[in-house]
Amino acid sequence: MRARLASLLSLSVSVSANAELRVPAYTAYLSPDANSARVSARRGITGWTGSDTKVQWFGEFKAIGEINCTLAVNLPAGKESKLKLTVGETSHELAVHGSTNVVNANLGMFPIKQAGYQRFTLESLNASGNASGDIDALILDGPAIKDAHFNLKERRNAASVHLNYSLPEQRNVAALYCEVTAVEDPLWSYYMACGWHRGYFGMQVNSASERRIIFSVWDSGNEPQSRSKVANENRVKLVGKGDGVFTGDFGNEGTGGPQSFEI
């Protein structure tokens, strides 16, 4: 399993104050357990039951003012789901009644008091194990959505922080050394001790019980998918490895090898 530290993917959307901004459910994150429901581009968020899991969207606002928030929800006819949306310090609750069609459930107005990033947290108030409804989209309108930035693509990269070091002028560097101590280890985190334009080395949290040390180096050239197409002179080659270290090739985001890790 590979991890690549990347910045939060966002798509700039320039909208007027009277336009509507539809943020797909497949761009949301599930907290605290990312596997507690299914997130897909075709059906949004499905299989969401109980009150333990929160659905969260993140977006950047350039304007202040109010926004009107509506949820597009799929819920079978005759069913009811109680939901709560929180934006900043404001929360609104709503009982959604099922239908044969998608229900646009309006949760009311929320103030955006200052420019910057905002978190939209959707919670289920239903009893544990009861279906909360399949979420299709978060729909926003109002003055504050002008020039807002949201991720509208299927890929949900992780937010990241990078520390860069400038090399001394007129100095040739043969090696570098760096230490990283992780004081917390939330699931799916990757701590990169050393990275450059064709590789990285660091620690990855793969599950509640699994941790890996990963070192990956990309081949030269620009082949994006298959390593079998990379000329021998452009390939990264294994020089040596320690006991208990796995090595293997990789592709589909550039190619490289040996990708190595130790559990």
pLDDT (tens digit per residue) in 25-41: 999 999 888 888 999 98
pTM above 0.75, yes or no: no
Q: What is the pLDDT of residue 179?
A: 86
Q: Are residues 21 and 145 in the same domain?
A: yes
182 belongs to a structural domain = no
Is residue 144 located within the same domain as residue 15? yes
Strand 211-217 versus strand 256-262 pairing type: antiparallel
Model confidence over 89-128: pLDDT tens digits?
999 999 999 998 899 999 999 999 999 999 999 999 998 7
Q: Please tell me whether residues 225 and 112 are part of one structural domain.
A: no
Q: Is residue 221 part of a domain?
A: yes
Whether 20 and 146 map to the same domain: the answer is yes
The answer to whether residue 174 is domain-embedded is no
Residue 149 DSSP SS3: strand
| Domain that includes residue 202, residue range | 190-262
Band (10; pLDDT cuts 50, 70, 90): very low
**Number of domains present in the structure of the chain:** 2
% of the chain surpassing 70 pLDDT: 90
Residue 178 lies in a domain: no
Say yes or no to pLDDT of 55 above 60.
Answer: yes
Mean pLDDT (the chain) is 86
In a domain, 138, yes or no: yes
Residue 57 has pLDDT above 80, yes or no: yes
> What is the CA 152 to chain-centroid distance, rounded?
12
Residue 157 forms part of a structural domain: no
What is the CATH number for 72? 2.60.120.260
Tell me the average pLDDT across 235-258. Answer: 86
Could you tell me which residues come within 8 angstroms of residue 215 by beta carbon, excluding any fewer than 6 positions away?
A: 199, 200, 201, 259, 260, 261
Q: Which tokens go with 150? A: 């949201």
Residue 62 lies in a domain: yes
At 234, list the tokens: 């452009």
Same domain? 39 vs 116: yes
**Stretch among 7-11, 115-119, 122-126, 259-263 having the lowest mean pLDDT:** 7-11
Average pLDDT over residues 36-57: 89
Which one is predicted more confidently, 95 or 254? Answer: 95
- End residue of a domain, out of 150, 177, 210: 150
Instruction: Pick the last residue of a domain from 118, 150, 182.
Output: 150
Residue 94 domain flag: yes
- Shared domain for 136 and 217, answered yes or no, is no
Count other C-beta atoms under 10 Å from residue 58's C-beta.
19
Question: Based on the domain organization, do 30 and 142 belong to the same domain?
Answer: yes
Selected residue with higher pLDDT from 144 and 156: 144
| One domain for residues 125 and 207 | no
Q: Are residues 115 and 202 in the same domain?
A: no
Same domain, 20 and 126: yes
Joined tokens for residue 173: 């560097």
Query: Would you place residue 80 in the very low, low, confident or very high pLDDT band (cuts 50, 70, 90)?
Result: very high
Q: What is the pLDDT of residue 172?
A: 86
